[in-house]
Chains A and B, each alone.
Chain A
């Protein structure tokens, strides 16, 4: 049975409120999850005030602004600042995305939220948490070991029986287009950690990111191991814990559609059985 509540050591307390910058006219409040492995305390929420007139437009700009000007101990991953490295994946205003491509204004007005069910802070604060239901290493940095292992488990490389050709493995332009919308995945883990099925069964269910990549190799015209790949997925948990909740597709910062890819794998399973 899934545990819907947080374990005792994970329950979140009120943290510190950092003062607003002096003379700032255009202030945005941020409430950010903090946890330090060295102080033996539970996680807490710190409140920061960011001067929008002194800060770039993206959530990552605000985090860097806080780290540079207010609190140098705030820990988060970031690298490319243009949505291609996948490092700054986190949960902003309830949805996973990349902090570098998520605008501060954009995450305050989501278009996919159910009205009435989503509470907003009175001061219009933006709430930031690490990727959901993951072990936390520090602050906004989750441990992605299991996530990477699941990607490795689907054997994401070309597997062939026939002798290798002298030059490259050829593919028609039509077959090549089948990989569009799949190969662009940057393994940021936004989709996998948005999935309630993955929250409850992350040890056995492969999750949207790994399954999207599984499908990317299943429909590659050059790959000759399709049957074995399907055999490996034919399991009540690895593939079939997907219940088409579609948080994955809603979250993907590259606008890919893991839910659709998983549906296509399920169709392949049916098609080879009849």
Chain B
């Protein structure tokens, strides 16, 4: 019997995100989207800092104190990784936009590499910042 000859039952939707395998390309695509969204918050941090800078020593002192606190440093550390991951994701997508890097080993390597590089660059930047401090 054809499906539309039955008394109508709303068909269920087969599971998708709940069951699909996490592959490197999918993970890094989703991380690129997520970090892109998180950058709204990061840009807000920069804006707060600039506004405080323009508003005088008292406001700047307050903001500098917060960014220098443990929670502030943690947020800035996260923001650094978010920014770098999204930037390297942009580079990765730029390479793909030229039609290169689509073979199985290439797309896997590009995805893994951008994750590793974003973590490594974040650590290097913070190591330098803390050493110079």
Contacts and interface: CB of A to CB of B under 8 A. Distances in A.
Interface in A68-122: 91, 93-95, 110, 112-114, 117-118
A43 interface: yes
B130 interface: no
B107 to A, nearest CB: 5
Contact of A37 (B11, B13, B25): B11
B56 interface: no
A177 interface: no
Sorting the interface of chain A by its residue count into under 10, 10 to 19, 20 to 34 or 35 or more gives 35 or more
A40 interface: yes
Nearest to B33: A243
Interface residues of B, number: 34
Contacts of A194: 20
A12 B15 CA distance: 9
B107 A91 contact: no
A204 interface: no
Interface stretch (A22-30, A57-65, A129-137, A227-235): A129-137
A263 interface: yes
Nearest to B27: A114
Nearest to A12: B15
Contacts of B98: 267
22 contacts: A4-B17, A6-B13, A6-B18, A7-B13, A37-B11, A38-B6, A40-B9, A43-B12, A114-B27, A117-B27, A127-B19, A133-B14, A135-B13, A196-B16, A196-B29, A245-B25, A246-B25, A249-B107, A257-B103, A259-B96, A260-B102, A266-B97
Given A37-B9, A118-B22, A134-B14, 10 more contacts: A6-B13, A9-B10, A40-B9, A113-B22, A132-B16, A133-B13, A142-B14, A143-B3, A196-B17, A244-B29
